């Protein structure tokens, strides 16, 4: 699934694997970045903004190899302001 996030929200992406033996390492990637952006079964961004928007995927690894997930698209919706007219 994909998600639309309000700017400033906290975002957590979770990754799971049904491999046998179980996956020991999880690595997070963002589209168009050469290096990993995180590790572990969960990847969190505490104050989401437009620079965080993009496609994210995780890679699960066990002793037999690794497999990358399909990517999920996460975009920032923006901040809603309430306007008062006098």
| Cα–Cα nearest to 40, from 24, 20, 19 | 24
Mean of the per-residue pLDDT values of the chain? 89
Query: Cis (ω within 30 of 0) for the bond into 21?
Result: yes
Write the pLDDT tens digit of every residue in 35-57.
999 999 999 999 999 999 999 99
Report the C-alpha gap between 80 and 3 in whole angstroms: 17
pLDDT at 54: 93
Confidence at 61, pLDDT banded by 50, 70, 90: very high
Domains and their CATH numbers in the chain: 3-76 (2.60.40.10)
**Whole-structure pTM value:** 0.82
């Amino acid at each position: 699934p994909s998600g639309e996030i309000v700017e400033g929200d906290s975002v957590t992406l979770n990754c799971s694997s049904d491999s046998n033996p179980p996956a020991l390492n999880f690595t997070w990637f963002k589209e168009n970045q050469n290096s990993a952006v995180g590790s572990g079964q969960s990847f969190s961004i505490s104050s989401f903004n437009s620079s965080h928007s993009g496609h994210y995927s995780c890679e699960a690894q066990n002793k037999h190899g690794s497999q990358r997930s399909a990517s999920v698209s996460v975009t920032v919706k923006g901040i809603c302001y309430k306007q008062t007219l006098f």
